[in-house]
Chains A and B, each alone.
Chain A
Amino acid sequence: MKKIPVTKIVAIGIGAALFFFLGRFVAIPSPVPNTNISIQYGLLAALAAIFGPVVGILAGLIGHFFIDFSFGWGVWWSWVIASAVFGLICGCATRSLKINEGEFGPKGLVIFNGGQMLAHAIAWIVVAPVLDILMYAEPANKVFLQGVVSAIVNIVTTAIVGTILCIAYSKAIPKTGSLKEED
């Protein structure tokens, strides 16, 4: 196996901690009663875009695993894996971006959001429901509807939160070659 650089290991660890915390403790009420909006996917998408697919998949996996664990309702593997798949696809789809070098223009915006939409669609409309059916023998129409609703809500959330995070992060980085000492 190829060695993962230490920076990425730390990014996975801290990313998972952030993902866990947001998913577990930060409740933003959604228009549908009793459901909260998962802003952690905005964060995960941004992390995956910055650090790549390996960080995306593992931060999603570990973070979501911890969320399920701390609620004690058992590890709902189908959704944990879906989170990991989301991180993976986001990371892969945004490989051409150079947010680390401070570039995130209109083109980056399109690639990032295209990537996150695709990733959410695959994660929640394909991966999660199929695994639910396979693992827990849940009724198909229930899980697919759940999937579609989650995908839509998550896409909107990620489009706002993830995009803002990417812009903020890219702007916080001084551009290559433009650093100059100031007095």
Chain B
Amino acid sequence: MAEHIIEFRDFGFQYKAQQSPTLYDINFGIEKGQKVLIAGPSGCGKSTLVHCMNGLIPFSYEGTMTGSLTINGRESRELDLFEISHVVGTVLQDSDAQFVGMTVAEDIAFALENACVPQDEMKQEVHRVAQMVNVQDFLGHAPGEVSGGQKQRVSVAGVLVDDVDVLLFDEPLANLDPATGKQAIELIDDMQKQTGAAVIIVEHRLEDVLHRWVDRVLLMNEGRIVADQPADELLSTDLLDRCGVRKPLYVTALEYAGVTVTPEKHPHHPDCLTLEADEMEQLRRWFDKRPQRAPKEVGEVMLEIQHLNFGYEKKDIHVLHDISMQIHRGEMMAIVGTNGAGKSTCSKVICGFETPNEGQITFCGEDFATYSIKERAERVGYVMQNPNAMISQVMVYDEVAFGLRNRKVPEEEIATRVEEALTVCGLWRMRNWPISALSFGQKKRVTIASILVLGPDLIILDEPTAGQDYKHYTDIMEFLLELNARGITIVMITHDMHLMLEYANRAVVFSHGRIIADDTPAHILTNPKVIKEASLKETSLYHLAMKCGISDTSAFVQWFIDYERKTARHDESV
């Protein structure tokens, strides 16, 4: 039997403040040099499992442990946090928070400083590791001067200096745009090959992690491990669907077409996928029987931006160059691009948070230039990514009423408008709840309600589903669809390609402060030129279509989405 670095036996854990255990009957081991993916929906206990493996449980969070967890053969509770940290190196989900140093070099050196390593040795080690993760050119940069992907590399470097046996990644993809996420997965793979450490990736974005080989996938649900098998086997079962973890799109497409997915087909990666000729034919037939799509009617122009230029003061670099676009009434559109491409800045300019250097914004024919932030908000609402950054009141009702009270609207009118907004958002029954009792998705709804109540016709949402698992993602997005059906125009700023593909009628692609494409998502995600320029990622459906000899890839992608919307979604809601 191979040696286990980490081994759980009949392990369970219950937090002090909780009435029931979070983890039950955990049994598994991680061998040296293995690469394991742990997947599961939010609340399945995977973060708790991470805390157990890196020692934060039991050393920082109180609770009761049952059974046994050994790290390098010793019970974790008999070690201390520091001993564990030399074996298990953790890269947190929030790589910005993990960046505690004032510059890249200092952050990489942090663990060495704490271990009292002499300075010369420390400098050598920092340079060595920085080269491994390719950040050697940024050593003097402050955290504000490096991108999200680079920050994550710094985090990885900061852990690698400790010569750990296990690298533990907690949701490494949550804050990254698609191309950077792909690079992150490649980096993790390379680091494992170079260091020989075992790698554990905790992530619900299965398809993205499977971009590189993993030895096993552990599937968690409701505090238990429900599967522990190679990806090929797991993808051939219906366990993922039942646990609310999304299968890779190409696997789902095969299922829709009636192709039975088996481990022998190697479904873990679209490039390895082996299909028989008749199975490809089956897929083509499924594609060919698609009905004609009626083109969606376009409403009148609501918001028009013309030749917008913007740059932050002092720095002469332009963040937005000659941006022109139109948003039509009733649309549900996406603005995509890498971090720093200008998509958020553009929406801030629309809302009046920033003043453009040049250009014009008109809303239903009115010039926006003379409107204050407050006045614009009655026409265009802006919902921030993190709901906690928008919530200032204790109770749900007060939070939604806040904007109206500030506008000195009479209390009777407030009552009717708040009721309307809360009903639309499905929160009316919770109006007298403290916001702290709500889930993330519900909080998001509260912030949306608090914007809706001001009466905008258009809302802009910044990363509406960031960090959410498939179920919450679907909840939030279906809710936005409903809003859209009620006549609210919706603009989503996102780097989630699934989201754009599934929910947007149209997408505008930003790259380096310019708009480089304005088209349907299916067209954009099958256009290699745009994908490359904007660091997007082609959808795996594109590869599947190519493989099966379907030349109209974008129609194939579109059909997949339409089909899913029509059939699969309905099955789910029943």
Contacts and interface: CB of A to CB of B under 8 A. Distances in A.
**Is there any pair of Cβ atoms, one from A and one from B, under 8 angstroms apart in the complex?**
yes
A167 interface: yes
Interface stretch (B332-340, B431-439, B488-496): B431-439
Interface in A135-183: 167-168, 171-174, 176-177, 179-182
Interface in B178-217: none
A179 B43 CA distance: 13
B125 to A, nearest CB: 23
A79 B439 CA distance: 44
Contacts of A181: 20, 43
Given A179-B17, A180-B19, A174 B437 contact: yes
Interface string B123-151: 00000000000000000000000000000
A171 B436 contact: yes
B18 interface: yes
B394 interface: yes
B392 interface: yes
Interface string B433-464: 01111010000000000000000000000000
Contacts of B439: 182
A174 B17 CA distance: 9
A179 to B, nearest CB: 5
Given A167-B394, A171-B394, A179 B436 contact: no
A134 to B, nearest CB: 36
Given A181-B43, A182-B439, A171 B434 contact: yes
Given A177-B17, A179-B17, A179-B19, A172 B436 contact: yes
A100 to B, nearest CB: 12
A176 B436 contact: no
Contact of A176 (B17, B20, B43, B435): B17
A175 to B, nearest CB: 8
Q: How large is the interface on B (under 10, 10 to 19, 20 to 34, 35 or more residues)?
A: 10 to 19
Contacts of A177: 17, 19
Interface in B477-536: none
Nearest to A176: B17
Given A171-B434, A173-B436, A179 B18 contact: yes
B530 to A, nearest CB: 40
Interface string B9-22: 00000011111100
A172 B18 CA distance: 17
Contacts of A173: 436
Contacts of A171: 394, 434, 436
B144 to A, nearest CB: 13
Contacts of B436: 171-174
Interface in B1-54: 15-20, 43
A8 to B, nearest CB: 13
Interface string B403-437: 00000000000000000000000000000001111
The A contact surface, by secondary structure, is loop
Contacts of B19: 177, 179-180
Contacts of A182: 439
Contacts of B18: 179
A24 B392 CA distance: 23
B86 to A, nearest CB: 17
Nearest to B16: A176
Contacts of B437: 174
A115 to B, nearest CB: 22
A181 B16 CA distance: 14
B572 to A, nearest CB: 15
Contacts of B43: 181
A168 B392 contact: yes
A177 B62 CA distance: 13
A181 B394 CA distance: 21
A181 B15 CA distance: 12
Nearest to B394: A171
Given A174-B437, A181-B43, A182-B439, A168 B394 contact: yes
Contacts of A174: 17, 436-437
A168 B436 CA distance: 10
A181 B17 CA distance: 12
A180 B17 CA distance: 9
A171 B372 CA distance: 33
Nearest to B395: A171
Nearest to B388: A172
Nearest to A171: B394
A3 to B, nearest CB: 13
A180 B18 CA distance: 7
Contacts of B16: 176
Contacts of B434: 171
A176 B62 CA distance: 12
Nearest to B442: A182
Interface string B353-397: 000000000000000000000000000000000000000101000
A179 B435 CA distance: 14
Nearest to A6: B60
Contacts of A179: 15, 17-19
Nearest to B392: A168
B191 to A, nearest CB: 27
Nearest to A177: B17
Nearest to B438: A182
A176 B43 CA distance: 19
Contacts of B435: 172
A182 B20 CA distance: 12
A180 B22 CA distance: 11
Interface string B282-305: 000000000000000000000000
A168 B394 CA distance: 6
Nearest to B222: A181
A37 B439 CA distance: 36
Contacts of B394: 167-168, 171
B307 to A, nearest CB: 33
A90 B148 CA distance: 39
B53 to A, nearest CB: 20
B335 to A, nearest CB: 30
Contacts of A167: 394
Contacts of B17: 174, 176-177, 179
Q: What 5 A-B pairs come out closest when comparing CB atoms?
A: A171-B394, A172-B436, A179-B18, A179-B17, A176-B17
Interface of B: 15-20, 43, 392, 394, 434-437, 439
12 contacts: A167-B394, A168-B394, A171-B434, A172-B436, A173-B436, A176-B16, A176-B17, A179-B15, A179-B17, A179-B19, A180-B19, A181-B43
Interface of A: 167-168, 171-174, 176-177, 179-182
Given A172-B436, A174-B17, 11 more contacts: A167-B394, A168-B392, A168-B394, A171-B434, A171-B436, A174-B437, A176-B16, A177-B19, A179-B15, A179-B18, A181-B20
